[in-house]
Amino acid sequence: MNADPLQWRIGLVGYGEVGRILAEDLRARGLAAITACDIKLGTPAEAPLVEHATRHGIRLTASHAELAGGADLIVSAVTASQAVPVAQACAPGIAKGAWFLDFNSASPGAKCRAAQLIDEAGGRYVEGAVMTSIPPYRIRVPLLLGGPQARELEPGLAALGFAPKCGSARLGVASATKMCRSVMIKGLEAMVIESFTAARAYGVEAEVLASLAETFPAIDWERQGTYFFQRVVQHGRRRAEEMREVAATVQEAGLTPWSAAGTAERQAWVADLADAGVLGDRNALRDDWRDYADAILAHRTPR
């Protein structure tokens, strides 16, 4: 492996929103050898991926093993349920000593299983907990690293433009930090959608918003409500998968995950409506949460 991180060969597993942002920013840092892999390759949904890769000089492959064999650093950024399967797919081809950075929102137990697969194959696994939404920060998103080899990778990631911070050397702690945070953040999204839509149905949204503003005056509930609706409309499916991992995290702690499980169901419910076209074009977001609430209410089953 080249000692200079800017000469590393990068493998991106997952070429969705996160993967494409990382690809753009790594290219801007001068990284020349970037390969990406995504399950959409070879399907009718591959066109946007191919167009983006062509425009930014990213090599695409449908083979995890091929990507792993030619990478000094693999970044896994897929949906939560695929964290362990991706590690399993990359392990047979991973180059000895290559880094595997697990960006995925998975439970501590899942991170430990993925780490065992990579480490036993001769790679070096580091968990990465992304601590807030990526698009505003891009590659500089706050990234909490975990695991016994995290401190060794930290300066290399910083050189690539990431904003890493080392946490515990014990695997799963960084993930637990992210997962416990998500109980609140994704839970707030689900609660706002449920509260605001029900308030709209009863015609009491003005009173509810006024009461929230009095209780939490630092929050612009109109703006925040619209943002929450937008994010779940765009990414509800991925969020639902993450919340199932959050529920597993809570379960691993010996608690019944009532809130996390309910949030997963609400996020998935919105994703179903979005997939059905009920909430309009995901790429033409609405500027008022009421438009989404009205669309939901128009689609509801009469009781």
- Residue 166 CA to residue 149 CA, distance in Å, equals 10
CATH number at residue 91: 3.40.50.720
- Residue at which a domain ends, from 140, 170, 200: 170
Are both 122 and 253 inside the same structural domain? no
Model pTM score = 0.86
Is 185 exposed, middle or buried (CB count within 10 Å of its CB: 0-12, 13-18, 19+)?
middle
CATH number at residue 246: 1.10.1040.10
Q: Are 232 and 275 in contact (CB under 8 A)?
A: no
Are both 47 and 153 inside the same structural domain? yes
- Residue at which a domain ends, from 142, 170, 198: 170
Are both 138 and 182 inside the same structural domain? no
Q: 21: domain range?
A: 5-170
Are both 87 and 218 inside the same structural domain? no
What three-state secondary structure class fits 133?
A: coil
Are both 108 and 235 inside the same structural domain? no
- Residue 106 CA to residue 236 CA, distance in Å, equals 16
- The one-letter amino acid at 137: Y
Ordered per-residue pLDDT tens for the chain, 303 residues:
788 999 999 999 999 999 999 999 999 999 999 999 999 999 999 999 999 999 999 999 999 999 999 999 999 999 888 999 999 999 999 999 999 999 999 999 999 999 999 999 999 999 999 998 898 899 999 999 999 999 999 999 999 999 999 999 999 999 999 999 999 999 999 999 999 999 999 999 999 999 999 999 999 999 999 999 999 999 999 999 999 999 999 999 999 999 999 999 999 999 999 999 999 998 899 999 999 999 999 998 766
- Residue 141 CA to residue 147 CA, distance in Å, equals 19
Are both 9 and 72 inside the same structural domain? yes
Sign of CA dihedral 79, 81, 83, 85: negative
Query: How many domains does the chain fold into?
Result: 2
- Residue at which a domain ends, from 144, 170, 196: 170
Strand order in the sheet with 10-13: 59-61, 34-37, 10-13, 73-76, 99-102, 124-130, 142-146, 163-166
Are both 64 and 125 inside the same structural domain? yes
Are both 17 and 166 inside the same structural domain? yes
Are both 215 and 143 inside the same structural domain? no
CA of 260: how far to CAs of 49, 109, 194, 271, in Å? Answer: 32, 17, 15, 16
Are both 260 and 127 inside the same structural domain? no
Sign of CA dihedral 15, 18, 20, 24: negative
- Residue 64 CA to residue 254 CA, distance in Å, equals 35
**DSSP labels, 56-105:** HT-EEES-HHHHHHT-SEEEE---GGGHHHHHHHHGGGPPTT-EEEE---
Are both 12 and 132 inside the same structural domain? yes
Strands (E), the chain: 10-13, 34-37, 59-61, 73-76, 99-102, 124-130, 142-146, 163-166
What's the count of helices (H) and strands (E) in the chain, helices before strands?
12, 8
**What is the total residue count of the chain?**
303
- Residue 173 CA to residue 259 CA, distance in Å, equals 21
Are both 150 and 32 inside the same structural domain? yes
H-type alpha helices, 203-220: 205-215
What three-state secondary structure class fits 276?
A: coil
